[in-house]
Amino acid sequence: MAKKRAYQIQYSRGKDKKIRWYRDLIKVTRKGLDDLDKAWFTLNRREVDGTAFITWEAQVTHYRRLVEGVIDQAQRRVIKGEQVPAAEKIFSLFEEHTDIIIKGSRDI
């Protein structure tokens, strides 16, 4: 579903359509975060313990922060029309060292 939305955003024409698709994609992403919260609550309530849970919890915390940053970035940039400074942008969830490179007068 999210992959389909990403393609719709990429190939859509017009600001209104993009905003609509971004809102939809943000909604789906927030639902995923809610599901993670429910999973954490269930595991925590069942007193699941051990290295596997601690590792999972650390990963969820790490990626949740990044996903929330991407949601904020999308809302600011697309929905509110703000220019988000490059220093505040998240370019990749999995390759945190990723940055924008501009070579000469070519596009980014």
Name the band, by pLDDT with cuts 50, 70 and 90, for residue 4: low
How far, rounded to the nearest angstrom, does the alpha carbon of residue 19 sit from its chain's CA centroid? Answer: 16
> Is the pTM value of this prediction over 0.75?
no
Give the pLDDT confidence of 13-64 residue by residue, as tens digits: 667 778 888 999 999 999 999 999 999 888 888 777 788 888 888 999 999 9
Which H or E element spans position 33? helix 15-45
Instruction: Report the greatest alpha carbon distance in the chain.
Output: 57
Give the pLDDT confidence of 56-106 residue by residue, as tens digits: 889 999 999 999 999 999 999 999 999 988 888 888 888 877 777 767 666
